[in-house]
Amino acid sequence: MSKEEYIKLCETIDYHMDRYYNQDDPEISDYEYDQLMIKLKKVEKENPDWVTPDSPTQKIGGTAKREAGVKVTHDVPMLSIEDVFSKEDVVAWVDKVKSVHPDCIFSVETKIDGLSMTLRYERNKYGFLNLTLAETRGDGLVGEDVTKNALEISDVKKILKLPYESLQLRGEVYMAHSEFEKFNAEQEQAGKKIAANPRNLAAGTLRQLDSSVTKERGLKMFVFNIQNGPEELMGSHSYGMDFLSNNGVKTVYHKKCSTSDEIIKTIDEIAEMRNELEYDIDGAVIKIDQINYRNDFPAGSKYSSGHIAYKYPPEERVVVIDEILVDVGRTGKTTYTGVFHDKETGKPARLCGTKVTRATLHNQDYINEMKIGIGGEYKLFKSGEIIPKLNGCVTAPKIIFNTPDRCPVCGSLFVNEEDTADIRCENSLCKAQLSRTLSYFCSIDAMNIIGLGDSIIDTLIKNGYINNFADIYKLDAYKEELIANNVFGKEKGTVKVLETIEKSKSNDPSKLLTGLGIRNVGKNTAKLIMKHFSSIQELMNATYEELTAINDIGEITAEYIRKFFDEPKNRKIIDELEAAGVSMNISESAVTSEKLKGLTFVVTGTLPNLDRKEVTDLIENNGGKCTGSVSKKTDYLVVGEAPGSKLTKAQSLGVNIISEEELLNMIS
């Protein structure tokens, strides 16, 4: 492997580490990740001089948790339970067991949909059992040490006042529906990805590096087995469970049954109960109660002897569609929601303990494929996922729903995206998109109006203060009102925001152009374009040919620009912005020299005097180019305090490394 490939590998691992640990959203499996780390370690062993403190093998973060000796070999293997999918199979198994041990009794239990954990207790000097280790199942033989996190779960007993030398309990860690919904609501509020189901979230939470996160998310646990313990607890399984229960351990629902009829009845009772539970279950476990009989019924190396699990079929209801809602999202994309009732009850459908009245219909293609329309009847199911899904059409409607021609919010004609199934409203000042459009206008790359964050913009729109870009510059007329309504806080806060707005008027016009949010015209393109025009007005009147004549401006971008400025209401907004005093003209003095012409710079770390924007402007005003990442094309890396991985990369590529002072010397 070349050094360049090595650096690339480090970057790949860094990327996946971030997905896994910071974003809770891995793109690759743990196995694939582990393979990358193994490869990296091998390379580093062969080339020890390449290793820097930045290497994923050296950092706390991902690797500490996976690498710091946290693998634990189980004392008693943590095996799975063999599934059966019909009651006939349950009866057949019971008959088989009974034919060998006619006195056999069974324990029928709920199968919680969570993740398995074993707790090891050892006698301490005061004569009590002390929790010494908590381990996840892993591959059944080797799991992960999650003791620190387990200590944050209130159902996990830290001390058991029992007179034994040691005890090992196995149970299921899970997340209650309420905690799961709370988490997702918060994620949604913060614009972050929501978790698919309580099980995955519980697993991610238990394996967290930061145990305070585990504490916050309120995991719970039911104990369902004694893995190892004193003889008196290893005779009858249900005796052991009841004994634990009497000593304060939360044990799983279990019922003693002696005949197959009783077992089937209990399985049905659990199914009934399922809707009322505050957590997900995915089956019922049937265990031989006499522990010493279990080994007479081996089930292979993967499965526990003397156990089977009956899996309930996924819950399903038939629903009738009453209404189809078309909404326009913040990006202009249409979204569809089907509103329905349960065909049988006429009420909201009940699935897995929750009421369901709506499901997403994705896009028009999905609607056509599923034959969705008002009055149509569809199967609805929910299995493992919190979001219910329609699962096939039972009775087709008279008319299949078709997206209206116009945006229901602003009345603009919808546009069909050619390469995707999306239908969009392309009016960026459509109310549905307005807050996003205005947030972008105020963002750091655009007009940089700090203080006008997303939620404040929403409030301003809702109360009718702003409907377009120009309205932002009219806010000072409402100063007293804004203070009275506490929109930006009291007087001091309001004055501060209004000052920032005022200050933004003198921004370079390329920032204004960026803020207009014309498709394909981001920060860099806007800068490039404004090098060719003396003012926004000149750009506004530039022909398509003049635009495409600019290097790097393609036909599509030119078209978007023309389309924007051809719209009379957009021209009006530009006029209003100008009237409000927003700078439209390129100041001649901005470009001070061409001393850095043809050179590409990257900046890393904190510079002693210049902030990031100042140094970027300085480089660009002297003809240089500033980019975000180091590559072979980079001429200089400007390094400040606490540089990131860019420094390592620049060193490995032989890029010139300079300080702020050296940069200033190049210009002066």
Closer residue to Zn ion (CB): 359 or 430: 430
CB of 404 to Zn ion, least distance (A): 11
Among the residue ranges 13-21, 117-125, 343-351, 421-429, the one whose residues contact Zn ion (CB under 5 A): 421-429
Structural contact between residues 359 and 338, judged by C-beta atoms closer than 8 angstroms: yes
CB of 439 to Zn ion, least distance (A): 17
Task: Name, in order, each residue with C-beta under 8 angstroms of 551's C-beta and a sequence gap of 6 or more.
Answer: none
CB of 516 to Zn ion, least distance (A): 17
Structural contact between residues 509 and 586, judged by C-beta atoms closer than 8 angstroms: yes
Q: Could you say whether residue 410 binds Zn ion (CB under 5 A)?
A: yes
Closer residue to Zn ion (CB): 393 or 410: 410
Among the residue ranges 300-308, 334-342, 407-415, 556-564, the one whose residues contact Zn ion (CB under 5 A): 407-415
Restricting to residues 422-441, which ones interact with Zn ion according to CB under 5 A?
425, 427, 430
Q: Could you say whether residue 326 binds Zn ion (CB under 5 A)?
A: no
CB of 367 to Zn ion, least distance (A): 20
Q: Could you say whether residue 407 binds Zn ion (CB under 5 A)?
A: yes
Restricting to residues 135-154, which ones interact with Zn ion according to CB under 5 A?
none
Alpha carbon distance 431, 468 (integer Å): 10
Alpha carbon distance 582, 507 (integer Å): 8
Dihedral sign from CA coordinates of 351, 353, 356, 362: negative
Residue whose tokens read 């609607």:
367
Among the residue ranges 121-129, 389-397, 401-409, 552-560, the one whose residues contact Zn ion (CB under 5 A): 401-409
Residue 459: both structure tokens together: 């409030």
Closer residue to Zn ion (CB): 328 or 497: 328
Q: Which contacts of 362-369 are long-range, i.e. CB under 8 A and separated by 24 or more positions?
A: 362/336, 363/334, 363/336, 363/421, 363/422, 363/423, 364/336, 364/402, 364/403, 364/421, 364/423, 365/421, 366/336, 366/421, 367/324, 367/336, 367/400, 367/401, 368/400
Catalytic residue among 8, 42, 65, 111: 111
Alpha carbon distance 498, 493 (integer Å): 9
CB of 413 to Zn ion, least distance (A): 9
Closer residue to Zn ion (CB): 14 or 426: 426
Closer residue to Zn ion (CB): 155 or 426: 426
Among the residue ranges 37-45, 419-427, 442-450, 554-562, the one whose residues contact Zn ion (CB under 5 A): 419-427
Alpha carbon distance 568, 574 (integer Å): 10
Q: How far is CA 285 from CA 91, 108, 402, 411, 592, in A?
A: 13, 6, 47, 57, 77
CB of 435 to Zn ion, least distance (A): 13
Q: What is the DSSP letter of 313?
A: P
Closer residue to Zn ion (CB): 408 or 493: 408
CB of 363 to Zn ion, least distance (A): 17
Q: Could you say whether residue 202 binds Zn ion (CB under 5 A)?
A: no
Q: Could you say whether residue 409 binds Zn ion (CB under 5 A)?
A: yes
Among the residue ranges 234-242, 347-355, 399-407, 589-597, the one whose residues contact Zn ion (CB under 5 A): 399-407
Largest CA distance in the chain: 99
CB of 460 to Zn ion, least distance (A): 19
Q: Could you say whether residue 415 binds Zn ion (CB under 5 A)?
A: no
CB of 462 to Zn ion, least distance (A): 17
Catalytic site residue 98?
no
Single out the residue of 102, 101, 138 nearest to residue 118, CA to CA. Answer: 138
Residues 349-388, one symbol each (x = binds Zn ion by CB under 5 A, - = not), give ----------------------------------------
Among the residue ranges 270-278, 411-419, 588-596, 642-650, the one whose residues contact Zn ion (CB under 5 A): 411-419
Residue type, 23: Q
With CB under 5 A, what is the number of residues at the site for Zn ion? 7
Residue whose tokens read 């988490």:
183
Residues 511-550, one symbol each (x = binds Zn ion by CB under 5 A, - = not), give ----------------------------------------
Closer residue to Zn ion (CB): 357 or 412: 412
Among the residue ranges 96-104, 232-240, 263-271, 400-408, the one whose residues contact Zn ion (CB under 5 A): 400-408
CB of 431 to Zn ion, least distance (A): 7
Quickly list DSSP for 393-432: EEE--SS-----SB-TTT-PBEEE-SSSS-EEE--TTSHH
Alpha carbon distance 452, 502 (integer Å): 13
Residue 535: count other Cβ atoms within 10 Å of its Cβ.
15
Burial 12-38 (b: 16+ CB within 10 A, else e): ebbebbeebbeebebeeeeeebeebbe
Alpha carbon distance 268, 287 (integer Å): 16
Closer residue to Zn ion (CB): 79 or 407: 407
Closer residue to Zn ion (CB): 264 or 326: 326
Residue-level length of the chain: 668
Q: What is the DSSP letter of 449?
A: -
Closer residue to Zn ion (CB): 121 or 414: 414
Q: Which residues are catalytic?
A: 111
Which residues are at the interface with Zn ion (CB under 5 A)?
Answer: 407, 409-410, 412, 425, 427, 430
